[in-house]
Structure 1
Amino acid sequence: MRSHLLNDLTAEHYRRSVTEGVERVAARLATTDRPFTGVTPDALAPLVDRIDLDRPLYDTGAALDELEEVYLRDAVYFHHPRYLAHLNCPVVIPAVLGEAVLSAVNSSLDTWDQSAGGTLIERKLIDWTAGRIGLGPAADGVFTSGGTQSNLQALLLAREEAKPGPDDGDHPASLAKLRVFASEASHFSVRKSAKLLGLGQDAVVSIPVDHDKRMQTVALARALENCARDGLVPMAVVATAGTTDFGSIDPLPEIAELCEQYDVWMHVDAAYGCGLLASVRHRDRIDGIERADSVTVDYHKSFFQPVSSSAVLVRDAATLRHATYHADYLNPRRMAEERIPNQVDKSLQTTRRFDALKLWMTLRTMGADGIGELFDEVCDLAREGWRLLAADPRYDVVVEPSLSTLVFRYIPATVTDPAEIDRANLYARKALFASGDAVVAGTKVGGRHYLKFTLLNPETTAGDIAAVLDLIAGHAEQYLGDSLDRAC
């Protein structure tokens, strides 16, 4: 079995095996004519269940044949122009190349003696991103597994910076005084982080949004004032630069003013909107982000990187000390004194993949403008899609897009019951997914079911959007016709 270990003796075996796998995937990509086959869990599960993991195939080709049957054939393919559902982007080839390199070398980015140049590459990319944000010369950060972890770490730092008094520590009575302010359209990870950080159930104060789904700063000011009046401690304001449902961007300059006024940590969750950092034409949409104390970026959403590739950035590198723990076997204190760069000193993770390499290869091959142009294309496409929806009497579209998300609802001409319209939209989404012709997402607005396009593929066209809208309407009309027949 040593023949399967990757080393100097098996380099040729590695080359043949990886080439065979790449050829299988390339063939599948080249022949995929829809984003999904429509396979159901009940149909696919028996194929997986029958595999005996204690009886190996002893052959890479046979294993790939089996993988074709249980995964590749029925995978959901984000590269297809009619995959319009979640915040999953098609990936750029230089990043996939980086993924292959980092998986084979298998560096761990916790300490210098496990990564060497990998540490320096990650630090360079952190500095580059902080520069794009405009956080200043004292900025720093670290790569993470995704936006949820980035938000958690940012709020951990905010909690430690905002403890009511030097002797309060983590006592529940003191933690119960802390408050986090986020819009009602913010990511669920804000509340999840508050729970993980030991804050009270009422710790997250939900701030209402305006018609464009942006945080109402008047309401935020009132909530901060009430917090001070009630003897509570404002721990952080989480502004969102690209909400998951609407792509809306909170008014960052006004929020920054309030954070300064009330001396509260400002975190910007730009997991989605971070693509604007590379934008050639729309960077001004996130003006004010440079005033944040911490920022979440997800390169695997809008920089066209494979999962996972994310980072948390901070204005003041010293605040990262709140995530620092020293272990004699790993990163003893003397290493810091010797100026040995150990990334584990900044991270919530210990063992950590060299995910930064994917972004490095992308920037070195395509350049930032190349990424920005792709993201600008999908933002422009969303604007075109919004015009299509606004002009189509079959649909109600919620807000004009700030990024690349469209939330809309099919409205039949002859049905007025909101519950029946809900069912028609739910049916249309499920039927479309089952057909495999396209994949769209869903959400709720005002308690009602809506559909959602998340446009992250520059290969998607306005014609694709129009065609999918026709498919949705067809499925919804079929449901309503069948419903009428059942009633008769």
Structure 2
Amino acid sequence: MHDVVDSLGRRFHATETATSANDRSQLQAAVDAVDLDTPGIGNAEALREVDALYADNAVWFHHPSYVAHLNCPVAVPAVAAEAMLAAINTSVDTYDQSEVATLMERRLIDWTCGHLGFDDGDGIFTSGGTQSNLQALFLARENVMAGLHANADSTTRTDAARPELLSRLRILATDQAHFSVSRAAFLLGLDADAVVTVPTDVSGRMDAEALNATLLAIEANDQIPMAVVATAGTTDLGVIDPLEPIAEACEAANVWLHVDAAYGGGLLWAPRRSHLLDGISRATSVTIDFHKTFFQPVSSSALLIRDSRLFAPTIHHHDYLNPEAEAQSHEAEPNQVDKSLQTTRRFDALKLWTTLRARGANEIGAMIDTVCDLASEVRKLLDGQADFEVLGASDLSTVLFRFTPATAGAAACDELVPMIRRVLFRSGRAAVARTTIDGRPWLKLTLLNPDTSIDDITAVLDLVRATGHGILAGRHITTEGGAA
């Protein structure tokens, strides 16, 4: 283990590119060359081999030219805690497998609920935002169904009525909501058109008035609004839906409000931006990914619920884990398998606990402000350069832009986006993402490294510019657009 740490330390100090620059066919050949059926080669040799195969070809999120996705560099105390939890190998599904680990996780859940304003709240750590969103919508579905059954007559309160009720359930979200919302609807057995798109304003935020109108239209069509999903930090635009008016609409319609704050949840602790989450205390459930804006190794996410009683649909009892008879006792052990979609579950909360104790929540919040400040600075930089176009303004740390030289038409600039991204990635010089907004492709910077400077980003933009000009020269893309 000391050898591995020493090797990684050297790599972090000396790594000069965000990616390996090796062609995928080369990487595939190196992977295929390893015979997994031969006798063991010993600990030291095996670790040297994976160092050469994996670490030498890794994507380095800490590098200042990695500005692609929602991947953060990790806090060193969390890395040490990761080694500790992996070696001890605790599973926090039942108390007799975890003891103090369960109590520490519960304390972190209570702490997070306190910052959310969930005085009677509860929650559970998950593998990521996708799982958190899935469980939130599962709980919404089951609690809504239970409410419908409770208010229906005896002939309706049967399993036979369930398919008909399921077919009427609708989830409301914008086209900027994370894809996991639609995936959850599919996994939950809802209709193909169960996710209803709520219009956005010009900035990409949910239009609260349109939400009210959509809720009325759903009810007029004899459909049932199962949940509204507001996004606090959209993946593409990095904007936050207006939570206060959305909460008002949901409360008026008695609809479950889930806030997907996987990206933006860290703003709760940001000294200068916490107000952007005003209204989140009125949500029914919230997703927060600590492995995005809390600088934790994956995985570290949580689902938080305003009222602990809403977890009831998840509860299942098994004699070999959490016997129902024991659960009724006033001395019942806190078996968290009652609230989780997972059984065996890592003690990922230890990483967050250790980071908070080492660095403090206020320092982490300040780091979140820092990356958001950098994004604002980058947008101003791009606004002042004639050969770049920038889209909108983010509440967080996302910047969408395009290389738009005077020598290329709009269609040619569209072509350049994926080509620039691919050339930079394959060269290892920079990792930049791309996306499409309203049919138009854009390059995307996602800034999650508080040590990245404006000079670092300027260097990435210079690479984008040089790469774009190189492609234009090589492919003879003209002002009329298209390759010659």
- The verdict on a shared fold, with TM-score over 0.5 as the criterion, is yes
Q: Does structure 2 conserve the Cα–Cα contact (< 8 Å) formed by 1:242 and 1:249?
A: yes
2:347 corresponds to which residue?
Answer: 354
After TM superposition, the runs of 4+ consecutive aligned structure 1 residues lying more than 3 A away are 485-488
Give the whole-Å Cα distance in 2 for the aligned partners of 1:397 and 1:460. 20
Cα deviation for residue 351 of structure 1 reads: 0.4
SS at match of 1:58: coil
Deviates more, 1:271-280 or 1:292-301: 271-280
Q: Does structure 1 conserve the Cα–Cα contact (< 8 Å) formed by 2:408 and 2:477?
A: no
Instruction: Evaluate the alpha carbon distance shift between residue 485 and residue 365 of structure 1 in structure 2; reply closer, same or farther with a 3 A threshold.
Output: closer
SS at match of 1:234: strand
Give the whole-Å Cα distance in 1 for the aligned partners of 2:108 and 2:122. 10
Q: Does structure 2 conserve the Cα–Cα contact (< 8 Å) formed by 1:386 and 1:401?
A: no
1:394 corresponds to which residue?
Answer: 387
Cα deviation for residue 91 of structure 1 reads: 0.2
Residues 22-33 of structure 1: pairs in structure 2 closer than 5 A:
22-33=5-16
2:130 corresponds to which residue?
Answer: 148
Q: Does structure 1 conserve the Cα–Cα contact (< 8 Å) formed by 2:64 and 2:457?
A: no
Cα deviation for residue 485 of structure 1 reads: 7.8
2:187 corresponds to which residue?
Answer: 196
Instruction: Evaluate the alpha carbon distance shift between residue 168 and residue 290 of structure 1 in structure 2; reply closer, same or farther with a 3 A threshold.
Output: farther
Cα deviation for residue 200 of structure 1 reads: 0.3
Instruction: Evaluate the alpha carbon distance shift between residue 485 and residue 35 of structure 1 in structure 2; reply closer, same or farther with a 3 A threshold.
Output: closer
Query: Do structure 1's residue 278 and structure 2's residue 269 form an aligned pair?
Result: yes
Letter in 2 for 1:349: Q
1:450-477 deviation per Cα after TM superposition (whole angstroms, max 9, x unaligned): 1000000011111111111111111111
SS at match of 1:165: helix
1:116 corresponds to which residue?
Answer: 99
1:286-313 deviation per Cα after TM superposition (whole angstroms, max 9, x unaligned): 1111100000000000000000000000
Cα deviation for residue 69 of structure 1 reads: 2.2
Cα deviation for residue 334 of structure 1 reads: 2.2
Letter in 2 for 1:254: P
Cα deviation for residue 171 of structure 1 reads: 2.5
Letter in 1 for 2:314: A
Instruction: Evaluate the alpha carbon distance shift between residue 75 and residue 228 of structure 1 in structure 2; reply closer, same or farther with a 3 A threshold.
Output: same
Cα deviation for residue 62 of structure 1 reads: 1.1
Give the whole-Å Cα distance in 1 for the aligned partners of 2:200 and 2:388. 23
Give the whole-Å Cα distance in 1 for the aligned partners of 2:378 and 2:423. 22
2:80 corresponds to which residue?
Answer: 97
Cα deviation for residue 395 of structure 1 reads: 1.4
1:381-429 deviation per Cα after TM superposition (whole angstroms, max 9, x unaligned): 111011111111111111112000001111121222x332111121111
Number of matched pairs: 469
1:3 corresponds to which residue?
Answer: none
Give the whole-Å Cα distance in 1 for the aligned partners of 2:264 and 2:38. 47
Cα deviation for residue 61 of structure 1 reads: 2.0
Letter in 1 for 2:252: Q
2:371 corresponds to which residue?
Answer: 378
What stretches of structure 1 of length at least 5 have no aligned partner? Answer: 1-17
> Identity, % of aligned pairs?
51
Task: Specify which of 388, 404, 423 is matched with residue 411 of structure 1.
Answer: 404
Q: Does structure 1 conserve the Cα–Cα contact (< 8 Å) formed by 2:266 and 2:365?
A: yes
What is the TM-score of this pair, normalised by structure 2? 0.95
1:429 corresponds to which residue?
Answer: 421
Give the whole-Å Cα distance in 2 for the aligned partners of 1:260 and 1:113. 40
2:172 corresponds to which residue?
Answer: 181
2:154 corresponds to which residue?
Answer: none
Q: Does structure 2 conserve the Cα–Cα contact (< 8 Å) formed by 1:168 and 1:174?
A: no
SS at match of 1:453: strand
Task: Specify which of 101, 106, 112 is matched with residue 129 of structure 1.
Answer: 112
Give the whole-Å Cα distance in 2 for the aligned partners of 1:124 and 1:162. 29
Q: Does structure 2 conserve the Cα–Cα contact (< 8 Å) formed by 1:237 and 1:265?
A: yes
Q: Does structure 1 conserve the Cα–Cα contact (< 8 Å) formed by 2:95 and 2:334?
A: yes
Cα deviation for residue 74 of structure 1 reads: 1.1
Letter in 2 for 1:123: R
Residues 54-453 of structure 1: pairs in structure 2 closer than 5 A:
54-136=37-119, 138-163=120-145, 164-166=148-150, 167=157, 169=159, 171-338=162-329, 339-416=332-409, 418-453=410-445
Q: Does structure 2 conserve the Cα–Cα contact (< 8 Å) formed by 1:279 and 1:376?
A: yes
2:153 corresponds to which residue?
Answer: none
Q: Once superposed, what is the RMSD of the aligned Cα atoms? A: 1.3
Letter in 1 for 2:204: K
Cα deviation for residue 58 of structure 1 reads: 3.1
Letter in 2 for 1:470: D
Cα deviation for residue 483 of structure 1 reads: 2.0
